[in-house]
Chains A and B, each alone.
Chain A
Amino acid sequence: MSVLLIAEHNNKNLKPFTLNAITAASKIDPEVHVLVAGSGSESVAKEAASIPLVKKVLHCDSPNYQNYLPENLAPLVTKHSEKYDHIVASANTFGKNFMPRVAAALDTSQVSDIIKVNSPDTFVRPIYAGNAFATVKSNDKKRCVTIRPTSFEPAPKTGGSAQIEKVDAADVPNFSKFVKREETKSERPELGTARIVVSGGRGLESGENFKLITDIADKLNAAVGASRAAVDAGYISNDHQVGQTGKVVVPDLYIAVGISGAIQHLAGMKESKIIVAINKDGEAPIFSIADYGLEADLFKALPEFLSELNKLNTIQK
């Protein structure tokens, strides 16, 4: 009776959302074991072992797991799943990619993207872009669950000393190959975990104009987000997209600029604590969920906003 959580990492450090997933896993069952599969990933196994909520770390190190190809990772998870009632991962592009392969191999029906644990078999998950919440009960004996990270607090990182057990690798099928990864490097906070997010939409009209957004973001030490329209138009790269098929963010402050507020965008940000909308169209749907709405031309409002922020003595970091 325990949970196996699959850690997301870059072979050096755990990715932050793994901590949120650990919190959720511990609500399913306090006996949380973490599988670290990677290449040259000893430091990750140690990091996982120091998390107090983690009771045991399974560590499998092999070049086959360096890039978490789902064709390689899923058989490893399946191989070590026998003793566990729950297999858990974050519902981001990492977990979404491999977990259904595990579920299919185990002939179990996956429960995706849960936002609440009611009991070990009953969960709440958003459907229809978060316009409805479904309470679902899994009748499978073994359950594969992915967790919406922003719905759970990150687990404390230090103070634990779980045992690290080396485990065997699984056979790999050799029919897929990692070629390259182009990660967008940024000095700004990560979109998924930032306290403040400043997002731009089609109203920005060009990629150059996104500087108006990034200037504000830098002043507030915020992450930069975007609507799908802005990404589709090529104003900014895909990793900034907030929405139903992009990232879900829950910052303390979300500032939506030149974003009309399509259902699909709202799905990714409407749980934010404070929402600000700046839009010249007073009828834009974004205003219906904004705590503070400013009906204005963004090309005038944003420079003014920056100069007002510059006047403040202190800005919370």
Chain B
Amino acid sequence: MKILVAVKRVIDYNVQIRVKEDGSGVHTDNVKMSTNPPDDNATEESVKLKESGKVKEIVAVTIGDDKAQETVRKALAVGADRGIHVKSDTYIEPLGIAKILKKVVEKEKPDMVFLGKQAIDDDCNQTGQMLAAMLNWPQATFSSKVTLKDKSMEIVREIDEGLETVEVNLPAVVTCDLRLNEPRYASLPNIMKAKKKPIDQMIAKDLGVDITNRVQQLKVEEPPKRKAGIKVANVAELVSKLKNEAKVI
């Protein structure tokens, strides 16, 4: 079987982002970038399935500018076999990304597509579900446990009420939760080996899909700041403040 895993380059999760003064977005110059965290879980799960012997090939794909290739290199360093970079120098919304991924799926014909459940930059939580709909495939979102069978997958999903188990026929799209697994670190020899693995390049606007953005970002601003609070000396003072000042208990 074959897996396509999609990875996105985002501002690193530890960076405190700064909003641009002109309201046009957030600062990205000289800011640490890395792979979207749940996309690492998607890669890790693919590699585990390959190690179990059920999966023969993993193809890692990213969409973005030249630097986005770093995310594919990272996936190659932990076990993906080859990469695809769909080049685009401008932002593409999830709808357009899903259309591009559909093109890649039609070319590569994987049995499964793994993605992170949400990108931590735009927080849209759409791409995997849109891709599944466009392909007319089933989906398993927010997955925290994946069991691969012959022609299907049993997936445990994290939902608001607790856990849900579904079974989806292959081919299927899986979006990964952070608790699915613990992504491994690439060893230095594997990082060196990954440099020799092939990355094919495609150009987003040449794929023949409409990737025009439909949602216009009018402005980006800082959220209202909270007023500075106080430190209390002890528990008795805390309870007294909550009772008499804040009046919440």
Contacts and interface: CB of A to CB of B under 8 A. Distances in A.
Interface stretch (B1-9, B75-83, B166-174): B166-174
Contacts of A92: 160
Which one of A107, A110, A287 has the highest number of Cβ atoms from chain B below 10 Å of its Cβ?
Answer: A110
A140 B216 CA distance: 10
A131 B223 contact: yes
A82 interface: no
A21 to B, nearest CB: 14
Given A97-B141, A137-B215, A175-B169, A182 B179 contact: no
Interface stretch (A39-47, A48-56, A272-280): A272-280
B162 interface: yes
Interface string B133-158: 11011110110100000000010011
Given A182-B163, A239-B161, A274-B248, A133 B220 contact: yes
Contacts of B130: 100-101, 103-104, 110
Contact of A312 (B16, B167, B232, B249): B249
A94 B216 contact: no
B248 A252 contact: yes
B150 to A, nearest CB: 15
Interface stretch (A156-164, A207-215, A293-301): A293-301
A175 B162 contact: no
Interface in A214-263: 220, 228, 231-232, 237-239, 244-245, 247, 252-253, 263
A232 B215 contact: no
A300 to B, nearest CB: 9
B129 A97 contact: yes
A276 B238 contact: yes
B51 interface: no
Given A108-B95, A292-B242, A305-B238, A176 B168 contact: yes
Nearest to A305: B235
B167 to A, nearest CB: 4
Contact of A176 (B167, B220, B242): B167
A183 interface: yes
Interface stretch (B42-50, B60-68, B116-124): B116-124
Chain A at the B interface: SS class: mixed
Contact of A139 (B117, B216, B243): B216
B187 interface: no
Given A128-B121, A293-B232, A308-B235, A245 B178 contact: yes
Nearest to A101: B133
Given A176-B138, A180-B165, A103 B215 contact: no
Which one of B14, B167, B172, B249 has the highest number of Cβ atoms from chain A below 10 Å of its Cβ?
Answer: B249
B111 interface: no
Interface of B: 11, 13-14, 16-17, 19, 26, 38, 93-95, 98, 117-118, 120-134, 136-139, 141-142, 144, 154, 157-169, 172, 177-179, 213-223, 226-227, 229-232, 234-236, 238-239, 241-243, 246, 248-249
Given A126-B223, A138-B215, A316-B248, 13 more contacts: A93-B157, A94-B160, A96-B142, A104-B130, A113-B123, A128-B26, A131-B17, A192-B160, A253-B248, A264-B13, A270-B226, A292-B238, A315-B249
